Amino acid sequence: FREEKEKDEL
């Protein structure tokens, strides 16, 4: 599965 790359959560 693909998912969003930007890790903007802590």
Partner 1 sequence: VLLLKIHATKNCSGVSLKTQELYAIVFVTRYLDLLFSFISLYNTIMKLIFIGSSACIIWYIRFHRVVSQTYDREQDTFRVIFLILPCLLLGIFINHEFTITEILWTFSIYLEAVAILPQLVLLQRTKNVDTLTGNYVFLLGGYRALYLLNWIYRFLTEPGYRQWIVWISGTIQTAIYCDFFYYYFQSWRRNEKLSLPS
- Least CB distance from residue 7 to partner 1, whole Å? 6
Taking the complex as a whole, how short is the minimal distance between the CB of residue 2 and partner 1, in angstroms? Answer: 8
d(CA 10, CA 1): 22
Q: Tell me, by CB under 8 A, how many residues bind partner 1.
A: 8
- As a residue count, the chain comes to 10
Provide the 8-state DSSP code for 2.
-
Mask: binding to partner 1, 1-10, rule CB under 8 A, as x and -? x-xx-xxxxx
Q: Which positions lie near partner 1, rule CB under 8 A?
A: 1, 3-4, 6-10
